[in-house]
Structure 1
Amino acid sequence: MINQYKISDKNIYETIDKCILALSDSTLSKKALFQLKLKLNSYVGDDELREALKDFTANWDTIWATMLSDNIYNAVKEDVDILQGLENIMEQGKEITNFIEADKKEGMETEVMVKILCPLFSVLMLFMAKNMVGYSWNTILKYEFVEPAGLFIFTLLVFLAAVNLMVFPVLGKQKYDF
């Protein structure tokens, strides 16, 4: 939108028209911009303009959409140059993209630790108990599955592992809206 705004000599109506033409037919953005264009061309008062921009913002329900709507309002109603505002929105988009990528990397590291290293260390501890302490396999299995404390710890570990497997997908689908 920034490039179209510059090309259109900072005319928001032309910018919206060019953005509509540049977007593919199946995108939500194109449909929302087209509806906004129709409402901008026919609005009568300030209330209708604000309602049109509110409907436009409702398509995404993010702070960025609200900021874009505020910029469009200023361009339409106040005839203000909104280039700086559009550039700020673009910069914030880049920052959040970098944040999301870093968050995904940390999430992958955590997932590897929980799904691979924890079970691996549990098995390693059994082998250490056998080889370093000198327990037999019968003694280890008895302490783990027959004794109440061992059975409780094993049940707790299985429960927590199951909770982790259920929680990771939910946390991975966070909506970032800054």
Structure 2
Amino acid sequence: MSVIIWRHPKPINAAGICLGHTDLAVDARRTRNLAYKVQQEARARQLAPIIHVSPLQRSRGVGEFLQAQGWQVKVDPLLIEFNFGAWDGLPWEQIDRHEMDSWCGNFADYAPGGAENLKQLFSRVENWLSRTASETRLVIGHAGWINAALMISKNKPLPTSSKHWSSSVNYGKKSVLMLNRGSYA
């Protein structure tokens, strides 16, 4: 089975901020363009018109556009981006350097902004992947979630250092996860 996941379109006013649960809007044209890419992929692979999205509007908006085209939309809170807590929505330059160093020094266990740590993100992603049935799923996701899912699908260990964390996938970029049934029990 596989998961075909696109990173959501670039949100408005997101440059330079710590973006996790902050719910920023996306330009309607970018939302529509990504929805067309999803439709093309579904047609090419002869997949059912079902899209899985997070509750955040930068993901959900693509689903809403597709829903208006007759698609079924499944909003799932497990697909939401990493939760940066008190850091969320702040410019990176305003986040205390000591706290950033603490996170980098204890990458897997430290909860940036007092919210979610990397172990919790990986657990949440693994939980969603374990529920993936035998059919291919189409998803609009977030960079942190996608990075974790790619690492899990490649059987990579939980990163204990920031140097083991992959660069974020580009906005609107498609990733394909190949999953072995039963590997996430």
TM-score, length of structure 1 as denominator length: 0.30
Compare the two structures and name the one with the higher helix fraction: 1
Q: Point out the structure with max Rg over C-alpha.
A: 1
Q: Which has the higher contact order (CA 8 A, sep 6+)?
A: 2
Compare the two structures and name the one with the higher strand fraction: 2
